[in-house]
Structure 1
Amino acid sequence: MSENVTLPQQQNAKGPERAGEPLLTVEGLQKHFPIYGGFPFRRQVGAVKAVDGVDLTVYPGEALGLVGESGCGKSTTGRLVTRLLEPTGGKITYAGQDITHASRKQLAPIRSEIQMIFQDPFSSLNPRQTVGTIIKSPMEVNGINPAGGRENRVRELLETVGLNPEHYNRFPHEFSGGQRQRIGVARALALEPKLIIADEPVSALDVSIQAQVVNLLQKVQDELGIAFLFIAHDLAVVRHFSQRVAVMYLGKVVEVADRNSLYTRPRHPYTHALLSAVPEADVDAAKKERIRLSGDVPSPIMPPSGCRFRTRCWKAQDKCATEEPPLVQLSGSDEGHLTACHFPEDPTRPRTEDVVMDPALAAPADKADDDSADGKK
């Protein structure tokens, strides 16, 4: 990857500064996909609650990591923020402007400021267009004419993401999956956005070049002051790239904290379980017991009452079934460390301490919850 490419400069490009107003604020965000049934007249019989009350804040120049199991609503949240999906409820505020239900005309001025790197590099690129056209199209749509011309700018971007500028006239099918993802990164950078929603940006890359791409994104963040909502499964990559981390479970955020606080002193049992599953390079650490969660993730069609994690939690009690825990800062937590749990983990206990979960300790769920989790605890 070339290190000689000069990136265009923006103001306040000195990394995250949380002293001012947030760039993005999400409050109570919801996305329910309706389920229809019945004959001969179709009617709504239920809804998949993919995102069900998410609160997030991203500051200018900051990278906020969003992690959780598959199906927890991370990618849907990213698409809601970019308004690729219409929210069912809640509020999205960008740069002080409410864009929750803004029309296409109202969104047009800020479309160039919010870009997305999609998870699937195969379906996100038009197979009928050349790479040059794909990356150049956003500039044409927004009437941007960079110094030196659009073609020269596209070639610079290709070199920036580690591709040969001579690939300008090639088609997507001539590239590997990892190379296609880098084309997606170049397209996202074409308009010099203020916020990038990165949905699993390195999941399609070889291990040998994942670090290069993550370092590239960090360089872009530092030099251009771009904020990131970084969605990923790889907790090691999230810790390396993000300043703060939010943990999602079944459509809700259960913990938000500075990366060092969250990785060393997790308060939510689900976060503790996720971190215990991270492979350890140290031989002694690798021998420690992992937290093995019982049962399956409940159905988002009929989530458990109260705390949604209670059907798999070894600390659950009767209170967890009747009261939903708020996302608040608990006693003993670091500043800004928010947790949604009635019986949080002890912050003084090291994360690497052995924990063995007895499935019998999990609180009994009601019958509806049993059905949604296949009745296995």
Structure 2
Amino acid sequence: MSTTTDTRAPRTSAAGPVPLLEVSGLTKHFPIMGGFPFKRQIGAVRAVEDVSFSIAPGESLGLVGESGCGKSTTGRMVTRLMDPTGGRIAYAGQDITHANRKQLAPVRSEIQMIFQDPYSSLNPRHTVGTIIGKPMAINGIEPAGGREKRVRELMETVGLNPEHYNRFPHEFSGGQRQRIGVARALGLNPKLIVADEPVSALDVSIQAQVVNLLQELQKELGIAFLFIAHDLAVVRHFSQRVAVMYLGKVVEIADRDSLYGNPRHPYTKALLSAVPEVTSAARKAGATGAAKRERILLKGDVPSPIDPPSGCRFRTRCWKAVEKCATEAPPLVQLSGSGDGHLTACHFPE
């Protein structure tokens, strides 16, 4: 118990409070095996490349981008469900990049995950009570009043009927199953939840219910979120800061209002131009540049992560690309003199 308490305590350094989660240079390459008998590596899928970001306690960071850009892989590395190829992951100041199972034990309960598919992420042979209570059983946690009482409380918290404790997953709708996943994630009182596209498999009306539920839980319990999604409207509603990924790299990070009102990277600008709801909302709010925003059609396909373009990975589809973009990879930095924390990886930002 003492170890858990120490880990949860807010830490500070000479530079100020330590972020709850700090990721720097995170990289993941999946080897491609070939030859005979398939024991020789002939290449690699560069799924995530040099990704860096931080999340403060109680903060929500949205991670957006096209399908296949490395969002889910990043989330799984943060939770250590997947080992990184390179880089560093620090939780509450503690390096957990290559921590073994014993070293991760005090941290495991504090970092939980909500999976994308509410149908395949729940064991169909177990009752809801068993599914939600399993993490407590694995970690040897015996709440006051017993696990069943705690599970029923969690079910009520996420809007499920506690009387359905002994029902099986197939007896619930998609939205209810996702609520079961949320209750399971809350069982160990986490400080950080990685939500991997938690509403993409749900109907639009149910999406709003689940997102609002997560938002209420964040405010009430002070939980930090890494909210992974491709729906920019959902991310704008939920996240305080947003990071945009393209082909395994983060190309822009900024607070919500700055990124949606004044995107600086061409890829972010193209993404936002495809969301009428976001453009309309920005125009009503009188955001800078909203009235000038036009639909941008990107040419060509997303390059293969096996052989990504040299320099800037977006240059093959960018209308601003010049020779420099092919020879130099732009660093993720803020504009000189801006001091607004708006980071962009582009040689010619807006």
What residue in structure 1 maps to residue 344 of structure 2?
A: 339
Residue correspondences, number: 331
Match for residue 241 of structure 1 among 238, 246, 249: 238
Change (3 A) 1:294 1:145: same
Change (3 A) 1:211 1:184: same
Encode CA deviations 1:22-69: one digit per residue, 9 max, x unaligned. Answer: 011111101100000112453100000111110010110000000000
What residue in structure 1 maps to residue 307 of structure 2?
A: 302
Encode CA deviations 1:209-231: one digit per residue, 9 max, x unaligned. Answer: 32222222122111211110000
Comparing 281-290 with 64-73, greater Cα deviation is found at 281-290
Task: Could you tell me which runs of 5 or more consecutive residues in structure 2 were left unpaired when the two chains were aligned.
Answer: 1-7, 284-289
In the alignment, structure 1 residue 52 sits paired with structure 2 residue 65 = no
In 1, Cα distance between equivalents of 2:95 and 2:152: 36
Match for residue 276 of structure 1 among 270, 273, 278: 273
3-state SS in 2 of match to 1:173: helix
Q: In the TM superposition, what is the alpha-carbon distance from 1:124 to its structure 2 partner? A: 1.1
Change (3 A) 1:231 1:40: closer
Change (3 A) 1:334 1:276: farther
In 2, Cα distance between equivalents of 1:95 and 1:131: 32
3-state SS in 2 of match to 1:280: helix
Are the counterparts in 2 of residues 200 and 233 from structure 1 also a CA contact under 8 Å? yes
In 2, Cα distance between equivalents of 1:278 and 1:110: 38
Are the counterparts in 2 of residues 35 and 46 from structure 1 also a CA contact under 8 Å? yes
Are the counterparts in 1 of residues 21 and 55 from structure 2 also a CA contact under 8 Å? yes
Give the letter for the 1:27 counterpart.
Answer: S
Change (3 A) 1:67 1:334: farther
In 1, Cα distance between equivalents of 2:324 and 2:336: 19
Comparing 122-131 with 297-306, greater Cα deviation is found at 122-131
What residue in structure 1 maps to residue 217 of structure 2?
A: 220
Q: In the TM superposition, what is the alpha-carbon distance from 1:204 to its structure 2 partner? A: 2.3
Are the counterparts in 1 of residues 175 and 210 from structure 2 also a CA contact under 8 Å? no
Matches within 5 A, 1:1-377: 20-40=17-37, 42-280=39-277, 282=280, 289-331=294-336, 333=338, 335-345=340-350
What residue in structure 2 maps to residue 369 of structure 1?
A: none
In 1, Cα distance between equivalents of 2:291 and 2:159: 35
Encode CA deviations 1:129-165: one digit per residue, 9 max, x unaligned. Answer: 1110000011111122222321121112112222211
In 2, Cα distance between equivalents of 1:156 and 1:94: 28
Give the letter for the 2:246 counterpart.
Answer: Y
| Same amino acid, percent of matched pairs | 81
Give the letter for the 1:261 counterpart.
Answer: S
Comparing 315-324 with 271-280, greater Cα deviation is found at 271-280
Comparing 20-29 with 210-219, greater Cα deviation is found at 210-219
Give the letter for the 1:307 counterpart.
Answer: C
Are the counterparts in 2 of residues 114 and 194 from structure 1 also a CA contact under 8 Å? yes
TM-score, reference length from structure 2: 0.90
In 2, Cα distance between equivalents of 1:221 and 1:110: 19
What residue in structure 1 maps to residue 3 of structure 2?
A: none
In 2, Cα distance between equivalents of 1:53 and 1:163: 41
In 2, Cα distance between equivalents of 1:117 and 1:333: 36
Comparing 200-209 with 107-116, greater Cα deviation is found at 200-209
- Could you say what the CA RMSD is over the residues aligned between the two structures, in angstroms? 2.2
Give the letter for the 1:233 counterpart.
Answer: H
Task: Could you tell me which runs of 5 or more consecutive residues in structure 1 were left unpaired when the two chains were aligned.
Answer: 1-10, 346-377
Are the counterparts in 2 of residues 178 and 204 from structure 1 also a CA contact under 8 Å? no
Change (3 A) 1:41 1:268: closer
In 2, Cα distance between equivalents of 1:182 and 1:105: 30
